[in-house]
Structure 1
Amino acid sequence: MKLFLMLGAINGFLAVALGAFGAHGLEGKLSEKALGTWDKAVNYQMFHTMALLVTGLLMAKWQSGGMVWAGWLFFIGIVLFSGSLYIYSVSGVKTFAMITPFGGVAFLIGWVLLGYAVIKYL
């Protein structure tokens, strides 16, 4: 529980910092397309930061294997999806863009597991 709350807080900080860096530090240095990719990474990181926080809060009352897996999959998804998009934005190396879908799948499975756990325990 505390771990996912802490990971949520760290990722919330990083999402805001990276969003500001993209808006102010990368403007004029990257193409519009690359900046759009950076913004997508920031948005997905923040959405799934909220998912981490919700998962941690729900675990305070109900702790299940499904919720634990959901939390880890949200975190792994942030690293793979957003992380690969950040690197791709600044490097242009397409290999990093090929990692992104694995993060997306992690997000999807995390949401399914969280949904199942909520239905089961609420």
Structure 2
Amino acid sequence: MGVWLVLAGLNGAMAIGFAAWGSHGVEGEAARWVGLGSQFQLLHAVALLALARFCAKRRRLFRPAAGLMVVGVALFSGSLYLKALGISLPIPMVTPLGGISLMASWLLLALAGWLACDHARV
């Protein structure tokens, strides 16, 4: 559980820092990219916090969901922050790959919930 709590805390702190930078340090379209990146990062920091609790129970799908979430935030939000700095990435489609990783993490979480349900009562 510790590593996921550390990552949740770091993502939360980074999101707040980037939100402040987006509000005061950049303008125009760059501010929009930073704002979007920090919103996604903060939302997923909270989700990682919840997943940390589930990972402690050693459920088999929660750890991969948390891992995909960390990768997704790094790719999605990270690429937006770099774009706001004017840094072009040598690899195309990094932002969409991050979004796909985030969607996959949520789908794994949904699957874990489905498998945990008592389907006999449904």
CA distance in 1, matches of 2:92, 2:73: 14
In the alignment, does 2:14 pair up with 1:19?
A: no
Tell me the CA shift for residue 48 of structure 1. Answer: 1.0
CA distance in 2, matches of 1:91, 1:72: 28
How many residues align? The count is: 117
Partner of 1:55: 51
CA distance in 2, matches of 1:8, 1:97: 27
In the alignment, does 2:44 pair up with 1:45?
A: no
TM-score by length of 2: 0.86
* Percentage of identical aligned residues: 31
Partner of 2:5: 5
Q: What code does the residue aligned with 2:53 have?
A: L
Larger Rg: 2
Change (3 A) 1:34 1:97: farther
Q: What code does the residue aligned with 2:47 have?
A: A
**Unaligned ranges ≥5, structure 2:** 118-122
> Runs of at least 4 residues of structure 1 off by over 6 A?
none
Residues 61 and 108 in structure 2, CA contact (< 8 A), matched pair in contact too:
yes
Instruction: Give 1:67's match in structure 2, choosing from 62, 69, 86.
Output: 62
RMSD: 1.8
